[in-house]
Every structure is written in C-alpha cells, then in structure tokens.
Chains A and B, each alone.
Chain A
Amino acid sequence: MAIRCVASRKTLAGLKETSSRLLGFRGVQTFTLPDLPYDYGALEPAISGEIMQIHHQKHHQAYVTNYNNALEQLDQAVNKGDASTVVKLQSAIKFNGGGHVNHSIFWKNLAPVNEGGGEPPKGSLGSAIDTHFGSPEGLVKKMSAEGAAVQGSGWVWLGLDKELKKLVVDTTANQDPLVTKGGSLVPLVGIDVWEHAYYLQYKNVRPEYLKNVWKVINWKYASEVYEKECN
C-alpha cells in the first residue's frame, strides 16, 4: 500500500512562510505569537485562567503586532536612508520587541503543577543556586523582595552571567530584556511584575502574587538553559 505523505497544517504554513521569504514579499521576518504549552487554566490557583488568557492573547499579541509594524517601518526607513526615522523607531522596537522576547521566555518559565511546575531546581543549576544563594528558599526570598520593590512596570530575573560564570538576580524596567543590564547575561527565570500580570487576581498585593508564582515555576526549563550555556 502506498503511504501518502499528508502535509500537515504546520508544514504548509512553514512552506508558505519560506516561499514568501524567497519571493521577497516581505523584506523583514515577521513574528507570531507562540502557543502556550499548557491550557490557560492549567496554572490555577497560582495564576488564574482569566489572567493567562488576557496576558497571552491581548498583551503579548499586541507586542508581537506592534513589533512587526515597527520592523516594517524600520525596514522602509533603512532602505530610504531616513536616519532620523530609524532613530525614532528605536523605542518602539525596544518596547515591543522586548515585550515579545520577555513574554516568550515567561511562558516557558511556567508549568502546571502536574508537569513539574514548582518542583525545586536540581542538577547543576540546583547546586549553583545553593552556592550563590544558600538555598532555593534564599533565592526565592531575594527575587520576591526585588520583584516587589520594582517601581512601576518591569521584571525580576534570575540570570547567568556567562563571562563571570555566576548567577545573578536583577530587575529590568518596562520591557527591557535582561541583556540590557549586561551583554553577558542569559535569562534563566523571569517573573513579570507589570500589574497586568497579576492585578485581576491579586489586586494591589504584588507580594502575594510573588509568593504564589513560585508554585508554577518551571525549573526544568531553567536547568536546560543553564546547562546549555555552561557547556
């Protein structure tokens, strides 16, 4: 019996994108909203399904859409040699590109409890955390305190300084990616402390959100990133 190769929707989409790049329909690679690897309600009760849906479908989507628009405008400005427009677009690129980068990491930093969310870090990352912070609890305490202290909007990060070969905790304002705090910093865990990340559920009590979010942090993913960077 002949086995027919059926093109899946994913394959067709991939072909379409490749062909449009080859034909030069777009000078710029466009970005799309990544799917969540779990259902919106799967992180409850730590993060409500309502928040996850709005956060993903509205906020992250808006960053993607606006990033694509900014890149399109940038491409045109570069081709025209319009330097002042190129410069003017930098903040939109930073805001929206940063928003896309940060949220793409964030969805991977989270996992349902029955898929390992909240399980403490093991292996080489676990050891490194013990070395640098005394214990996972020590790290959590530090990150929660720094996250609570962010004024306005931003993120709190656990990062690896590739050059100095050590773990760092740092915060960034607005949608600045961690790399804006140091070129050798690799984000391992980021926690969104913009009010949209928790307000519908925790209202003004950001510390309570920070206490609960650890129950769904995906340390397996952070370990994978860490091990990859260390080798």
Chain B
Amino acid sequence: MYDATRLPKSRAIHKSQNTDSTGVCSPHLSLKLELQFKRMAASSAVTANYVLKPPPYALDALEPHMSKQTLEFHWGKHHRAYVENLKKQVLGTELEGKPLEHIIHSTYNNGELLPAFNNAAQAWNHEFFWESMKPGGGGKPSGELLALLERDFTSYEKFYEEFNAAAATQFGAGWAWLAYANDKLKVVKTPNAVNPLVLGSFPLLTIDVWEHAYYLDFQNRRPDYIKTFMTNLVSWEAVSARLEAAKAASSSSS
C-alpha cells in the first residue's frame, strides 16, 4: 500500500527557505505539500483505502527473531485496532474517504494534533514497518544505498551507531527512521505516532520502539531488540526501492 509515487514532489521541499536542519515543515512548505496531496487525491481512484494489509510474509516467518506471538498481537490486535478505529473516527466527517496520507497531514496540523492523527499515522507507520522487514533480512546493504549511507554517515558502522542510538534513546513510545530529504540521508527519531511525512522528508526505514513491539520477546531489553532487528530483520531491498522512488519523486518536474 505504500505508494511512493504519491510522495510529495521535492520541488516543494527544495524551494522552501523555511525548513530547518531537521526538515521540519514551515507553514509555507505545508501549503505546497497540501496542494500535492490534493492533486494526488484527485487523481487517485481509491476512496476508502483504510485496509489492514497483512505483512508480506507469514506471521511466523520472522522467527526466532520476532515471534509469531508478537506478530499476532502487534499486527493482529494493535495495527488492526488503529485501522478499525480510524474508520469509525472519520465516518461522517470531512476526512471520510480521503487518502490516508492526506488525513495524516491535515490532522498533524503543524504539531497541534487533531483526534484522528494517532490512528491514521499509526495505521501508516505499521504497514511501513512490516514492509521494512523480511525473513532472512538484516546485515549490510549494498549498491547505491550503501554508497549513500557511506557518503552521508561516513560509514555503514556510523549509520548503524546513529540509528541504534536514536532507537535506544527515543524515550517512551515512538519510532526511529532512516529518511531522505534534500538529497541527503538522515536518522530521525519521533515520539508516539509522528513520522517523517509530517516533518517534510521521505521515510525509507523504520523500527517501532513502542514497548508492545518488543516486550513479549525482549521485555525491557530494547537494545537487544534493536540489534536483532538490524542483524536479522531489515529488508534493505525495501529501503532501496523506497530510496529510488524518493529520488524519482524529487527530481521529476511538475
């Protein structure tokens, strides 16, 4: 469901004078993104697209690194609840039928979160998360992705260190991300349901560090969970595909 062609065009980001170093949207940039989302919504044939998509692998396929029990609860209960509750929440409102990214953007409301933001963003974040992993994943990326990581972090090891630190130090519930903006890769950590879409960058990879993501398998040992994720679960293929889409969206004109 993560349709990278529906990402905002980078022209909006490049032209903005008002993003700070973390890529946070200024109101000026938000308006441009809003127009992009409206164009995407208009051209999209999909109306009510809030679907609990299954992960691209069986619920036991990530064992022993992430248990079937965790997937059953995390996808089957938590993610499902975000989707179902979102549907109920937008029913009969002006948000009903709007694409998910549109709802996320408008309910983020420049940081003054509106009620539907939590469910909408979490529905998006979790689908993105399942697709960030694969059976037999992990290890080091290769090709252009590795080259860019080496360019922007000086080495894969430095990227790993930064991503690990972000995931380990996001206090309370949240996410750590690899994101792309202004032709640069960066690591970002966000609280609760916030994601890089609302901060003006293209998400490429995420790890869920809400306790429900790891508690059954690792209890309090979040560092062990992060290490397992990086060593055994990351789908660099998915990350590379997202990077290509982000670059294409950035460089295409009008």
Chain A residues proximal to chain B, CB less than 8 Å: 54, 58-59, 62, 91, 95, 151-154, 173-175, 194-196, 199-200, 203-204
Q: Does B39 contact A (CB under 8 A)?
A: no
Residue-wise interface mask of B (184-218) relative to A, using a CB-CB cutoff of 8 A (1 in contact, 0 not)? 00000001110000000000000000111001100
Give chain A nearest CB distance to B114 CB in angstroms. 13
Q: Which of B81, B172, B216, B219 contacts A152 (CB 8 A)?
A: B172
**Nearest-CB residue, chain A, relative to B193:** A151
Q: Which of A173, A195, A203 contacts B210 (CB 8 A)?
A: A195
Verify B210–A199 contact, CB threshold 8 A.
Answer: no
Verify A152–B210 contact, CB threshold 8 A.
Answer: yes
**Nearest-CB residue, chain A, relative to B220:** A58
Which 8 pairs, one residue from A and one from B, show the smallest C-beta to C-beta distance?
A152-B173, A195-B211, A153-B172, A152-B192, A174-B172, A58-B220, A204-B77, A199-B215
CA distance A62 to B193 in the complex (A): 25
Give the one of B77, B171, B215, B216 with max A CB within 10 A: B171
- B125-181: which residues lie under 8 A (CB-CB) from chain A? 171-174
Verify B211–A204 contact, CB threshold 8 A.
Answer: no
Verify B220–A199 contact, CB threshold 8 A.
Answer: no
Contacts of B118 in A (CB 8 A): 151
Verify A196–B173 contact, CB threshold 8 A.
Answer: no
Subset of 20 A-B contacts with CB under 8 Å: A59-B220, A62-B220, A91-B171, A152-B172, A152-B173, A152-B174, A152-B192, A153-B172, A173-B172, A175-B171, A175-B172, A195-B212, A196-B211, A196-B215, A196-B220, A199-B212, A199-B216, A200-B216, A200-B219, A203-B73
Contacts of B210 in A (CB 8 A): 152, 195
Known contacts A151-B118, A153-B172: A54-B220 contact under CB 8 Å? yes
